[in-house]
């Protein structure tokens, strides 16, 4: 048996989070927040629009970096969590490959991106397609999948780089297609840095 | 007043909604890095952009709830923002004041505590996110236009204070 995506999505999608008595959401070894998508997209677009041409790459890099570090640290918490152990690990028969399949099922279940792996060469390259992701609605010009770029890089690092927390920045992710520019899906390619 | 919470999910995309507004989970790493980046982009007023975006987008969420639930008293309207703050996992606040201004104490803070977890204490206040949030909350409470309140951060958990403190003044 390998990871059955639909089963994982259905199980994980039932989970909702909200603040505890302190107004905090301590989960997956981090503090989780739940924010309006509009806030995140508007900030990205406003800060990109304000940046002069020579600064846009730096701002874009900052947005990807925020998603990357969030994904790397939270991702480690997710794949070692009780819920991941209960739902995904019993189906894992192909090691890191199945862990990654489970991770993209989690991305889908939690509304980050309806996404999955279409090509995987272990430790070398991964191609992701996403048929829905919230940044596609951001309204900006050009490719805008900063969050999924960061998350994809993070999870490939977690799967194939040095064990956490020493494997950061081993791989890099580029977006090659985007719903936001008229393509039928977003495409993201992870390779060695 | 206890905030009514209606969590729903789009069956096709799995996007999540709270009271009809699309929401998504991230962690303190994300918000801390976004905040740090805004602070480093002084040339383009990154901090101002962050405050404005938070005020505008949160205000829309509060106004929508207030309108749908027919809330009329300033206290009930203000509580919408206070309770949402905790539901969003942003922390716990205590509010005093009137339409001319007031004070918000942050007893717990996602951003400040996350900042300390990530980098240790900051050299000064960093919670620009909550400055925008508080401006939206007071605006919604007293039915004032955007940017009617100026919010300054007088104490900061990230910088080592026991609580955060925000001073609100009508602009």
Token output for B145: 């236009």
Residues of chain B found within 8 Å of residue A16, distances taken between Cβ atoms: 7, 16
Residues of chain A found within 8 Å of residue B35, distances taken between Cβ atoms: none
A87, A5 contact by CB (below 8 A):
no
Residues of chain A found within 8 Å of residue B110, distances taken between Cβ atoms: 23-25, 31, 33
pTM of the model: 0.96
- Exposure of B105 by Cβ count < 10 A (0-12 exposed, 13-18 middle, 19+ buried)? middle
Instruction: Looking at the complex, report in whole angstroms how far the Cα of residue B170 sits from the nearest Cα belonging to chain A.
Output: 24
Which of A59, A67, A109 faces B30 most closely, judged by CB atoms?
A67
Share of chain B above pLDDT 90, in %: 98
Is residue B11 one of the residues assigned to a domain? no
The architecture in CATH of the region A5-192 reads 2-Layer Sandwich (3.30)
B59, B78 contact by CB (below 8 A):
no
Is residue B8 one of the residues assigned to a domain? no
- Residue extents of the structural domains in chain A: 5-192
CA dihedral A136, A139, A144, A146 (to 10 degrees): -80
**ipTM score of the complex?**
0.97
Separation CA B138–CA A130 (nearest Å): 39
Instruction: Looking at the complex, report in whole angstroms how far the Cα of residue A191 sits from the nearest Cα belonging to chain B.
Output: 23
A140, A47 contact by CB (below 8 A):
no
The total number of structural domains in chain B stands at 1
Cis, bond preceding A165 (omega within 30 deg of 0): yes
Q: For B24-68, how does the pLDDT look when each residue is reduced to its tens digit (9 = 90+)?
A: 999 999 999 999 999 999 999 999 999 999 999 999 999 999 999
CATH code of B57's domain = 3.30.1380.20
Residues of chain B found within 8 Å of residue A28, distances taken between Cβ atoms: 27
Range of the domain at B91: 27-170
Subunit contact B89:A73, Cβ cutoff 8 A: no
Separation CA A174–CA A177 (nearest Å): 9
Separation CA B29–CA B31 (nearest Å): 6
Q: Does A67 touch chain B (CB under 8 A)?
A: yes
Q: For A19-77, how does the pLDDT look when each residue is reduced to its tens digit (9 = 90+)?
A: 999 999 999 989 999 999 999 999 999 999 999 999 999 999 999 999 999 999 999 99
Is residue B14 one of the residues assigned to a domain? no
Subunit contact B45:A46, Cβ cutoff 8 A: no
Shortest CA distance from B17: residue in chain A: A36
Q: Which residues contact A130 (CB under 8 A, 6 or more apart)?
A: A113, A114, A115, A145, A148, A179, A185, A186, A187, A188
Token output for A64: 């990807």
Residues of chain B found within 8 Å of residue A24, distances taken between Cβ atoms: 89, 91-92, 108, 110, 113
Mean pLDDT, range B18-28, rounded to an integer: 96
Q: Does A43 touch chain B (CB under 8 A)?
A: yes
Q: Does A154 touch chain B (CB under 8 A)?
A: no
Is residue B5 one of the residues assigned to a domain? no
A59, B38 contact by CB (below 8 A):
no
Separation CA A3–CA A98 (nearest Å): 6
pLDDT value at A3 more than 80: no
């Amino acid at each position: 048996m390998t990871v059955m995506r639909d089963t994982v999505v259905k199980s994980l999608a039932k989970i909702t989070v909200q603040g505890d008595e302190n107004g905090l959401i301590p989960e997956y070894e981090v503090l989780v927040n739940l924010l309006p998508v509009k806030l995140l997209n508007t900030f990205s677009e406003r800060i990109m629009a304000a940046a002069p041409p020579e600064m846009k790459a730096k701002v874009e890099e900052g947005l990807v970096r925020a998603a990357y570090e969030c994904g790397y640290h939270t991702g480690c918490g997710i794949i070692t969590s009780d819920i991941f152990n209960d739902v995904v690990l019993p189906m894992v028969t192909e090691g890191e490959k199945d862990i990654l399949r489970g991770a993209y099922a989690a991305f889908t279940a939690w509304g980050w991106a309806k996404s999955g792996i279409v090509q995987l060469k272990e430790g070398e390259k991964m191609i992701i397609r996403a048929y829905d992701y919230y940044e596609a609605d951001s309204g900006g010009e050009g490719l805008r999948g900063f969050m999924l770029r960061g998350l994809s890089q993070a999870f490939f690092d977690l799967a194939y780089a040095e064990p956490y927390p020493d494997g950061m920045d081993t791989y890099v992710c580029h977006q090659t297609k985007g719903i936001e520019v008229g393509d039928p899906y977003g495409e993201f390619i992870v390779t060695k840095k | 007043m206890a905030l009514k919470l209606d969590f729903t999910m789009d069956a096709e995309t799995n996007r999540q909604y709270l009271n009809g507004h699309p929401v998504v989970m991230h962690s303190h790493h994300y918000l801390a890095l976004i905040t740090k980046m805004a602070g480093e982009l002084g040339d383009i007023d990154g901090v101002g952009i962050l405050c404005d975006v938070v005020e505008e987008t949160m205000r829309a969420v509060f106004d929508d709830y207030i309108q749908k639930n027919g809330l009329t008293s300033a206290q009930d309207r203000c509580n919408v923002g206070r309770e949402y703050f905790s539901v969003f996992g942003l922390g716990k606040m205590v509010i005093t004041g009137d339409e001319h201004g007031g004070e918000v104490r942050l007893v717990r803070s996602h951003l400040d505590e996350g900042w300390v977890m990530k980098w240790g204490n900051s050299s000064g206040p960093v919670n620009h996110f909550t400055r925008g949030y508080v401006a939206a909350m007071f605006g919604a409470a007293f039915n004032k236009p955007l940017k009617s309140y100026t919010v300054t951060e007088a104490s900061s958990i990230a910088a080592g204070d026991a609580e955060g403190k925000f001073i609100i003044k009508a602009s």
